[in-house]
Chains A and B, each alone.
Chain A
């Protein structure tokens, strides 16, 4: 284990905790106990590992990028979470939580989604395990990720449109939490990132640590050590924390990349929303600001508490990139390597590309957290 665990009350330093209505406290306590017990149970772990291998297609490879590396003047490695079943890293977490839900006797999965990747993964797990599934998605995201809405419908999930606030991920979480408050006795809330009340930030990290564990071994085989820089895009921060977990005890520099319009660490101050204390984009009075990003998956004003902790301790640093740099990076990887990335990991690549001079000659491992199929419609409009 390379990242430190939170305190029993769910704190990573000053961040984290369990700030939820009383109605949900017993459910969080029950979940914490169930997760600890399941994680320690070899049978649970074996079933999850089996699904990750035989259903999701793990391990995902690490791919060298000779042409792009040449162009950028550095050595770029991609951790290929885009090759997972359903097209992103989200499936790692969802399979774990769905098995846990079944173990807890819950037959209804409830989730929020931004880009729709977590929604699709949750709908997939529900179909696989024969569970009911309801997904909340902001109206703006329903429009810009309509392909994923259709996929969720095909998979048998019900998709509800969140019409409040900015009508993006933040509001989808609000609606999912309201549903959870009303249905807590029958529903399992399958949160999609390392955020929310304790134990979610820890539990989701555990389910995503597989990314870092594999990557550490793969880097050892490929380059005989650890990369100089390990980077990933950060929305709530699950793909980033998953990859970071494999390198936190190494000399590798850890870099999280946020969208300029949703830079919780970069532009936020400590606050409390959606169950935990963390950096948060908010006004002087504590009203949460609406994020504004080209990428539905990163369009969120908060960030998981452990990232706030890693930023505060200096173990990781957080940079941001603008939408136009992301559009460039999206095309760059497609053209040079034949890999169309999702807009979320294109943020990490945009940072690498911008910092190519500072990164010259170094080895950079980037989490390619998802594939771009869902984004081609949006990109067609942007590029036309």
Chain B
């Protein structure tokens, strides 16, 4: 294992205080105020923020993030444009980019990695780039100090989990449901299961995303995980035109729910995460 990167350090700070991590997802280039939304979301208590770079064919995404992608692309959002806007943006928490592999492939892996680093982006998630294919990208990312976050799914066999965890940087992203992104009315049992399976094999922070859409669901899965990634619920607010303050209010709700469940409980029990 290499030294702890910016993303992992930020998450560990939260965990060391007994809390659980909150990583909201914001679609880059969506609306004129998306960078303000990022700042507001940071102020509302995000530990790390995931910034989506829209792709034309997002096969891991459900209707909400698809609609956000289409709208952003329709108003001229481009990967270099989004990264340019992030450069010099004072957020106060680490940013990770989430996009699909072709965006990186087209720009060239080295160039994409160095552009992320130049733009102040600390990590990267490419959901269609599984472990076996990740080599060339991970090498380029490592060279620029960009943390490559890998996903583990409910279908991942036990023998494969440690391999994914070993190659993942920043945190390990546990996919909470058998399915694509989107808010569900209830937390799938697979969310807690994947969290437990990952925690059993890795010392890296384990966050669960996909299908975590309410503060209650975030609290429930965080009983097993180190925290959550919240995507579609946040993006839906953006699509609804809630603006930076409206989105921040949603994120505050998640923050407060996690803190009241874990921070206080932890200080009572003196729980210190490893």
A contact residues vs B (CB 8 Å cutoff) = 9, 17-27, 164-165, 170, 174, 177-178, 181-185, 269-274, 277, 280, 282, 284-288
A-B contact pairs, 10 of them (CB 8 A): A18-B130, A20-B59, A22-B131, A22-B150, A25-B131, A170-B57, A178-B179, A284-B106, A286-B107, A287-B55
> What residues of chain A lie closer than 8 Å to B59, measured between beta carbons?
20-21, 174, 177-178, 181, 274
From B56, B70, B73, name the one whose CB has the most chain A CB atoms within 10 angstroms: B56
B157 near A26 with CB under 8 A, answer yes
* Proximity bits, B13-41, A CB within 8 Å = 1, else 0: 00000000000000000000000000000
Known: A170-B57, A285-B80, A286-B103. 16 other contacts (CB 8 A): A20-B59, A21-B130, A22-B150, A22-B151, A22-B152, A23-B153, A178-B179, A181-B60, A181-B179, A182-B179, A182-B180, A185-B178, A271-B102, A277-B105, A285-B106, A287-B73
B79 near A286 with CB under 8 A, answer yes
Give bound CA distance, A184 to B131, whole Å.
Answer: 19
Q: Collect the chain A residues with CB atoms within 8 Å of residue B107's CB.
A: 285-286
Give the size of the chain B interface in residues (CB under 8 angstroms): 42
Quick one: which of B149-164 are within 8 Å of A by CB? 150-157, 160, 164
Given contacts A182-B179, A184-B178, contact A286 B132 (CB under 8 A): no
Interface centre among B103, B107, B155 (most CB of A within 10 A): B155
Give chain A residues whose Cβ lies under 8 Å from the Cβ of B151: 21-22
Interface hits, B130-182 → A, CB 8 Å = 130-133, 150-157, 160, 164, 175, 177-180
Total number of A-B contacts with CB less than 8 angstroms?
116
Q: B: which residues have CB within 8 A of A?
A: 55-60, 62, 66, 70, 73, 78-80, 101-107, 127-133, 150-157, 160, 164, 175, 177-180
Interface contact A182-B178, CB-CB below 8 Å: yes
Contact A19 B79 (CB under 8 A): no
Contact for A18 among B78, B79, B104, B133, CB less than 8 A: B133
Q: How far is the CA of A25 from the CA of B179 in the complex (A)?
A: 14
Q: Which A residues touch B154, using CB under 8 A?
A: 23
Q: How far is the CA of A86 from the CA of B80 in the complex (A)?
A: 48
* Distance between B182 CB and nearest chain A CB, rounded to angstroms: 10
For A17, give the chain B residue with the smallest CB separation.
Answer: B133
Give the CA-CA distance A287 to B105 in the complex, in Å: 11
B155 cross-chain contacts in A, Cβ below 8 A: 22-27, 184-185
Q: How far is the CA of A216 from the CA of B175 in the complex (A)?
A: 49
Residues of A with C-beta under 8 A to B133: 17-19
How far does the alpha carbon of A27 sit from the alpha carbon of B164 in the complex, in Å? 17
Closest Cβ–Cβ distance, residue A382 to chain B (whole Å): 29
With contacts A21-B127, A22-B164, A26-B155 taken as known, whether A286 is within 8 angstroms of B178 at the C-beta atoms is no
- A271 contacts B105, CB within 8 Å? yes
Closest beta carbon of chain B to A269's beta carbon, Å: 8
State the CA gap A169–B177 with chains docked (Å). 27
Contacts of B103 in A (CB 8 A): 285-286
> B153 and A22: CB pair below 8 A?
yes
Asked if B102 and A21 sit within 8 Å, CB to CB, the answer is no
Closest approach, in angstroms, between the C-beta of A372 and any C-beta of chain B?
A: 30
| A277: B residues at CB distance < 8 A | 105
Q: Is the CB of A273 within 8 A of B132?
A: no
Return A273 CB to nearest CB of chain B, in Å: 6
How far does the alpha carbon of A87 sit from the alpha carbon of B107 in the complex, in Å?
A: 42
Q: How far is the CA of A219 from the CA of B60 in the complex (A)?
A: 46
Q: From residue B131, how far is it (CB to closest CB) to chain A in Å?
A: 7
A14 to B57, CA, bound (A): 22
Q: Which residue of the partner chain A has the closest CB to B78?
A: A285
In Å, the complex CA distance between A174 and B58 comes to 8
Q: Please, which residues of chain A bring their CB within 8 A of the CB of B101?
A: 19, 272
Q: Are A21 and B128 in contact (CB under 8 A)?
A: yes
Q: Please, which residues of chain B bring their CB within 8 A of the CB of A286?
A: 55, 79, 102-107
- From B102, B156, B164, B177, residue with most partner A Cβ within 10 Å: B102
With the chains together, A19 CA to B66 CA distance in Å? 19
Chain A residues, CB < 8 A from B179:
178, 181-182
